[in-house]
Amino acid sequence: MHELSVVSSIVDVVTESLAAYPGARVVEVRLKVGALASVVRESLEFCYEIATKETRLEGSRLEVKVLPVVIHCAVCNQDAELEGVQSFRCPKCDEPSYDLRQGRELEIDSIEIDEDEETA
Amino acid sequence: MTTRIVELRRGILKKNDELAAELRTRYTAAGALVLNLVSSPGTGKTEFLQHTLTDLLARGKRAAALVGDLETDNDARRLAASGAPVRQINTHGICHLDAEMIGKHLEGWEGVSLDQLDYLFIENVGNLVCPSSYDLGEKIRVALLSVTEGEDKPLKYPTLFNSADAAVITKMDIAEPCGFDRELALKNINEIRPGIRIFETSAKTGAGMDEWVEYLVKARA
């Protein structure tokens, strides 16, 4: 349960990037979270409200996009999306693969902000 | 009012990743092989590590350990029995070690400097979830699992096992009374992390420890 630490980092990163937009209000913070990132969407959302209190993110929404695991299959010589995280095998040929191409992401993709015309 | 989308594309744990990258450079420059040991509480990390340190010291290697726990220095005292320098990190409630904690505890460690070490072991806080997100700059991440925990642990905690470089099964001496299904455990580990090197050990009887220590020696060569 390290979602609170994760959300605190989100607040830091977003606050830092808001320096370039002095009068802006944050509407939404959009995350990309890999299926193997070991954070739980519900816990993130729960912690988000607490951690954003009295920050420039207060009142904003958190949008979490979960990215499935993608492995590269050396036999088929192509990337393949996995349905879950219980078996790391090519869905086409069943070959095991440790060549991960997606699934560990834990990043802030973008933020949506409202700016006053004068400060924009 | 104008609405604007600002692309950030920033890693949330970027600060930790940057610190870990700095640590990795320092470890490499010092010639120290760094391992991060991760498991549930009660797997036997400390006992396993104590034997590992003792064996490495007996082979004339220089090894030290940082050990993470929420509270107490019990593990550091147990590990110190090996004769290796050990430093306790108390996280006071935090469920994992991060790169900043490691950096801080490498400073001012009496009698220990990285460039005089062959091996540095980091025993993480007992937790199979959170430590998997925090890079400590280690070369080898070791996932440990004891025979008492159930063969499906790798399936329940795929993130950690998938990110590991080696897996260690501990307490093999009591595998039989525990009804441990060895084949199933090996299959499950391989399903989550194909091709991983697996060591079956007992720190109590010493079984499998030579193979593990040989692996450590080769990994540094």
ipTM for the predicted complex: 0.87
**Interface mutation target, options A1, A2, A67, A75, chain B, most CBs of B under 10 Å:** A2
Query: What pTM was estimated for this model as a whole?
Result: 0.92
Residue A117: per-residue pLDDT: 67
User: pLDDT tens for residues B124-146?
Assistant: 999 999 999 999 999 999 999 99
- What backbone torsions phi and psi does residue A30 show, to the nearest 5 degrees? -110, 120
The sign of the torsion formed by the CA atoms of B81, B88, B64, B141 equals positive
A120 falls in which pLDDT band (50, 70, 90)?
Answer: very low
A118 falls in which pLDDT band (50, 70, 90)?
Answer: low
**Interface mutation target, options A30, A86, A116, chain B, most CBs of B under 10 Å:** A86
State whether B163 and A85 contact (CB < 8 Å): no
Provide the CA A63 distance to its chain's centre, in angstroms: 8
User: pLDDT tens for residues B142-167?
Assistant: 999 999 999 999 999 999 999 999 99
B193 chain-A contacts, CB cut-off 8 A:
88, 98
User: pLDDT tens for residues A39-95?
Assistant: 888 899 999 999 999 999 999 999 999 999 999 999 999 999 999 999 999 999 999
The Cα B112–Cα A117 span in angstroms is 59
B168 falls in which pLDDT band (50, 70, 90)?
Answer: very high
pLDDT > 50? residue B117: yes
A89 chain-B contacts, CB cut-off 8 A:
191, 194
Interface contact A8, partner B, CB < 8 A: no
Q: In the numeric block, which tokens belong to residue B49?
A: 């590590």
Residue A99: per-residue pLDDT: 96
Residue A39: per-residue pLDDT: 87
B133 chain-A contacts, CB cut-off 8 A:
2, 6, 37-39, 106
Give mean pLDDT, residues A108-117: 92
Residue A1: per-residue pLDDT: 61
Mean pLDDT score of chain A: 93
State whether B4 and A100 contact (CB < 8 Å): no
Interface contact B92, partner A, CB < 8 A: no
Strand partners, A45: none
Q: B53: which residues sit within 8 A by CB, 6+ positions away? A: B63, B65, B79, B82, B83, B84, B121
- What backbone torsions phi and psi does residue B167 show, to the nearest 5 degrees? -120, 140
The Cα B67–Cα B86 span in angstroms is 7
**Interface mutation target, options B6, B127, B190, chain A, most CBs of A under 10 Å:** B6
- Asked if residue B32 lies in contact with residue B63, where contact means CB atoms within 8 angstroms, the answer is no
Residue A4: per-residue pLDDT: 87
Interface contact A74, partner B, CB < 8 A: no
